[in-house]
Amino acid sequence: MSLSETAAPALAEPHRPVRPVWTAGVVLVNVGINAAFFGPLQVLLGQQAAAFDEGGKEAILALVTGAGAAVSLVANPLFGALSDRTTARRGRRVPWVLFGAILGAAALIALAGAPNVAVMAVLWCLVQAGCNGAYAAITAAIPDRVPVAQRGAVGGLAAMGQTVGILIGAVIAAVVSGNFALGYAFCAAALVAGVVLYFFKNDDVALPAHGRPPFKLARFAAGFWISPARYPDFAWAWLTRLLVNIGNHMVTLYLLFFLTDAVQLRRTQGIEPEVGVLVLTGLYAVMVIITSVVGGRLSDRTGRRKPLVMLSSAVIAAAALILAFAPTWTGALIGASVLGIGFGCYLAVDFALITQVLPTAVDRGKDLGVINIANSLPQVIAPLIAYPFVALWGGYVSLYLAAAVIGLLGAVFVLRIKGVD
């Protein structure tokens, strides 16, 4: 019997629909990861930075989050690649979901007692490593177990879980009322609780030891480069996701300052800009939750991914144009709604499309980790692009026009993907 035949159950293209309990487990893992990740990012890390040095809190926060972002760029593909090679009895992905959750939760609890900024940065990097390890594994589990005809729906529910997790993180940060240590403990609990159902109801298939290729460090390292010439559909999918995410981050990056300076929300509406951001974020999240589920199911039903990815990218661009030319509270409410409609559909359908252009079954975790760099890298790139538009080249009108153009480029480049309808 050949190597491919004996390893086939773990690497074969899935055809049996997944059970609702399995999908619920995947959704809850995404909820837990995003609650643990965004609660600190939105509020808790800033509060801790201010506790160390009120006058230098901005620099501390930039240092800590920048270090964490750098770790995320490496951790996601690395843990994905390690999960591809795992031959545990419970399967390839489960051990890494569990390990990532435990590492992230332990680092969050330790973060509350960090004695200085250096330790704070190291512990946040460990949180990033754990959360990204769990995310890499749970993302790869979808093409492992979900047939193509069901991936839009499952991808939409996973995207819904991500958004719910972000909202839970915001609620945790609000409930603890400045007690960041308690907030970290709640975030850690959410992360661990999120993996429980998946751990017991995962349906993961073990990879036999003889189904794993021999480890050679040079080959392992070289595997993170995926040739655009050899796999052009994968390359175009990566580029389109990068561009759309850059455009989305450019729209949301300076939202607080946009409401303060352009909309002048406090003067025109009597609403504090911070409250305005919360309202817009909630509205955006509701739309993401709705359209991620609806868009994913629609793409499964029609069997067409590219038209919906292009349409949702164009809707995201339209949201940027609304903010550019209607800098009012009403315009902001409409823009946030339109952005959520577009991005929710995009998250679900583009994920399903990407799972259909992965180069090989044996490297699904690593390849999706490389794709996820296109989610993390915009956090670094978008501020570098956005700042000169705001400060030097015309303010918020030019910023949002540029975001619209970048997002539309993502829509156009989807046409270059040939292997998916």
Write out 234-248 in H/E/C secondary structure.
HHHHHHHHHHHHHHH
d(CA 411, CA 415): 8
User: Would you call 11 helix, strand, or coil by DSSP?
Assistant: helix
Specify whether the CB–CB gap between 250 and 406 falls below 8 A.
Answer: yes
d(CA 399, CA 411): 19
CA 168 to chain centre: 15
Write down the pLDDT at residue 2.
Answer: 40
d(CA 138, CA 93): 7
d(CA 369, CA 140): 8
Write down the pLDDT at residue 7.
Answer: 54
Q: How many Cα atoms occupy the beta-carbon half-sphere of 344 within 13 Å?
A: 27
Which homologous superfamily is 19-202 in?
MFS general substrate transporter like domains (1.20.1250.20)
Q: How many CB atoms lie within 10 A of CB 9?
A: 12
Q: Tokens 């709705």 map to which residue?
A: 290
Per-residue pLDDT of the chain (421 residues; tens, 9 = 90+): 344 445 567 788 888 999 999 999 999 999 999 999 888 887 888 889 889 988 888 788 888 888 888 898 899 999 999 999 998 888 899 999 999 999 999 999 999 999 999 999 999 999 999 999 999 999 999 999 999 999 999 999 999 999 999 889 888 887 887 789 999 999 999 999 999 999 998 888 888 887 777 878 888 888 889 999 999 999 999 999 999 999 988 888 788 788 888 899 888 888 888 788 888 888 998 999 999 999 999 999 998 899 999 999 999 999 999 999 999 999 999 999 999 999 999 989 999 999 999 998 889 999 999 998 898 888 778 888 888 888 888 889 999 999 999 989 988 999 999 988 8
Specify whether the CB–CB gap between 157 and 293 falls below 8 A.
Answer: yes
Sign of the dihedral through C-alpha 349, 38, 316, 291:
positive
User: Would you call 58 helix, strand, or coil by DSSP?
Assistant: helix
pTM, rounded to two decimals? 0.86
Specify whether the CB–CB gap between 407 and 244 falls below 8 A.
Answer: yes
| Amino acid, res. 390 | V
Classify residue 216 by its DSSP letter: -
d(CA 251, CA 321): 10
| DSSP secondary structure letters along 244-267 | HHHHHHHHHHTHHHIIIIIS-HHH
The architecture (CATH level 2) of 232-416 comes to Up-down Bundle (1.20)
d(CA 276, CA 265): 8
Q: Where does CATH 1.20.1250.20 sit in the chain?
A: 19-202, 232-416
Q: Determine the straight-line distance between the first and last CA of the chain, rounded to whole angstroms.
A: 36
| DSSP secondary structure letters along 329-345 | HHHHHHHHHHHHHHHHH
Specify whether the CB–CB gap between 385 and 402 falls below 8 A.
Answer: yes
Measuring CA to CA, which residue among 154, 190, 158 is closest to residue 171?
190
Q: How many CB atoms lie within 10 A of CB 201?
A: 14
Write down the pLDDT at residue 8.
Answer: 61
| Amino acid, res. 65 | T
d(CA 63, CA 402): 27
Q: How many CB atoms lie within 10 A of CB 106?
A: 17
Write out 135-166 in H/E/C secondary structure.
HHHHHHHHHHHCCHHHHHHHHHHHHHHHHHHH
Q: For residues 29, 30, 31 and 35, what is the CA-based torsion angle, rounded to 10 degrees?
A: 110
Classify residue 43 by its DSSP letter: I
Write down the pLDDT at residue 145.
Answer: 92
